Structure 1
Amino acid sequence: MRFAIMGSGGVGGYFGARLAEAGHEVTFIARGEHLAVMRRDGLEVSSIEGDLHLARVNATDDPAQVGAVDAILVAVKAWQVLEAAEAIRPLVGPETLVVPLENGVEAADILAEALGEAHVLEGLCGILAWKAAPGHIKHAGVAPFVRFGERDNHPSERGARLKAAFDAAHGVTAEIPDDIQAAVWGKFLFICAMSGIGAITRAPIGVTRRLPETREMIEGVLAEIAAVARARGVALAADAEARALRFIDALPEASTASMQRDIMGGHPSELESQNGAVVRLGREAGVATPINAMIHAALLPQERKARGEG
Structure 2
Amino acid sequence: MNDPTSFHHIAVVGAGAVGSWFGAMLARAGHPVVLIGRAAHVEAIRRGGLRLESGAGSEIVAIGADTDIAAVRGAELVLVCVKSPDTEAAARAMAPHLKPGALVLSLQNGVDNAATIARHVAADVAVVPAVVYVATALPAPGTVAHHGRGDLVIGSPDAALQPRLRAVAELFIAAQVPVAVRADVMAELWRKLMLNCAYNAISAIAQQPYGRMAARAEIRALMRAAVEEVVAVARADGQPLVLDECVQAMERLGDAMPAQMSSTAQDLARGKPSEIDHLNGFVARRGEALGVATPVNRALHALVKLIESARTP
User: TM-score band, normalised by the shorter chain?
Assistant: over 0.9
Give the whole-Å Cα distance in 2 for the aligned partners of 1:292 and 1:152.
33
Contact 2:32 2:63 in 1 (8 A): no
Determine if the alignment matches structure 1 residue 26 to structure 2 residue 33: yes
Residues 47, 267 of structure 1: alpha-carbon distance in 2 compared, 3 angstrom cutoff: same
Contact 1:126 1:144 in 2 (8 A): yes
Give the whole-Å Cα distance in 1 for the aligned partners of 2:233 and 2:99.
36
**Structure 1 counterpart of 2:132, one-letter code:** C
1:289 alignment partner in structure 2: 294
**Structure 2 counterpart of 1:205, one-letter code:** Y
Contact 1:45 1:136 in 2 (8 A): yes
Structure 1 residue 121: deviation in Å?
Answer: 0.7
Structure 1 residue 80: deviation in Å?
Answer: 1.0
**Structure 2 counterpart of 1:158, one-letter code:** R
Give the whole-Å Cα distance in 2 for the aligned partners of 1:238 and 1:211.
21
Structure 1 residue 192: deviation in Å?
Answer: 2.2
Structure 1 residue 307: deviation in Å?
Answer: 5.1
Point out the more displaced range, 288-297 or 245-254.
Answer: 245-254
Point out the more displaced range, 36-45 or 244-253.
Answer: 244-253
Structure 1 residue 78: deviation in Å?
Answer: 1.2
Residues 251-262 of structure 1 aligned to structure 2 (within 5 Å): 251-262=256-267
Structure 1 residue aligned with 2:219, among 214, 223, 233?
Answer: 214
Give the whole-Å Cα distance in 2 for the aligned partners of 1:154 and 1:287.
36
Residues 84-163 of structure 1 aligned to structure 2 (within 5 Å): 84-116=90-122, 118-141=125-148, 143-150=149-156, 152=158, 156-163=162-169
3-state DSSP of counterpart to 1:5? strand
Residues 279, 152 of structure 1: alpha-carbon distance in 2 compared, 3 angstrom cutoff: farther
2:171 alignment partner in structure 1: 165
Give the whole-Å Cα distance in 2 for the aligned partners of 1:96 and 1:240.
36
State the 4+ residue runs in structure 1 displaced beyond 6 angstroms: none
Determine if the alignment matches structure 1 residue 76 to structure 2 residue 82: yes
3-state DSSP of counterpart to 1:114? coil
2:273 alignment partner in structure 1: 268
3-state DSSP of counterpart to 1:45? strand
Contact 1:153 1:180 in 2 (8 A): no
Contact 2:213 2:219 in 1 (8 A): yes
1:249 alignment partner in structure 2: 254
3-state DSSP of counterpart to 1:69? coil
Residues 41, 204 of structure 1: alpha-carbon distance in 2 compared, 3 angstrom cutoff: same
- Map Cα deviations across residues 288-308 of structure 1 (whole Å, 9 max, x no partner): 111111111122223334555
**Structure 2 counterpart of 1:166, one-letter code:** F
Structure 1 residue 66: deviation in Å?
Answer: 4.8
3-state DSSP of counterpart to 1:144? strand
**Structure 2 counterpart of 1:173, one-letter code:** P
2:50 alignment partner in structure 1: 43
Give the whole-Å Cα distance in 1 for the aligned partners of 2:72 and 2:200.
35
**Structure 1 counterpart of 2:267, one-letter code:** D
3-state DSSP of counterpart to 2:99? strand
Residues 66, 181 of structure 1: alpha-carbon distance in 2 compared, 3 angstrom cutoff: closer
Residues 76, 65 of structure 1: alpha-carbon distance in 2 compared, 3 angstrom cutoff: closer
Contact 2:211 2:255 in 1 (8 A): no
What is the aligned residue count? 305
1:199 alignment partner in structure 2: 204
3-state DSSP of counterpart to 1:121? strand
Q: List gaps (5 residues or longer) in structure 2.
A: 1-6
3-state DSSP of counterpart to 1:13? helix
Contact 2:35 2:65 in 1 (8 A): yes
Q: List gaps (5 residues or longer) in structure 1.
A: none
Q: Percent identity?
A: 33
Give the whole-Å Cα distance in 2 for the aligned partners of 1:291 and 1:24.
45
Give the whole-Å Cα distance in 2 for the aligned partners of 1:194 and 1:47.
24
Contact 1:29 1:59 in 2 (8 A): yes
1:301 alignment partner in structure 2: 306
Structure 1 residue 238: deviation in Å?
Answer: 5.3
Contact 1:151 1:181 in 2 (8 A): no
Point out the more displaced range, 248-257 or 78-87.
Answer: 248-257
Residues 43, 207 of structure 1: alpha-carbon distance in 2 compared, 3 angstrom cutoff: same
Structure 1 residue 153: deviation in Å?
Answer: 7.0
Residues 91, 150 of structure 1: alpha-carbon distance in 2 compared, 3 angstrom cutoff: farther
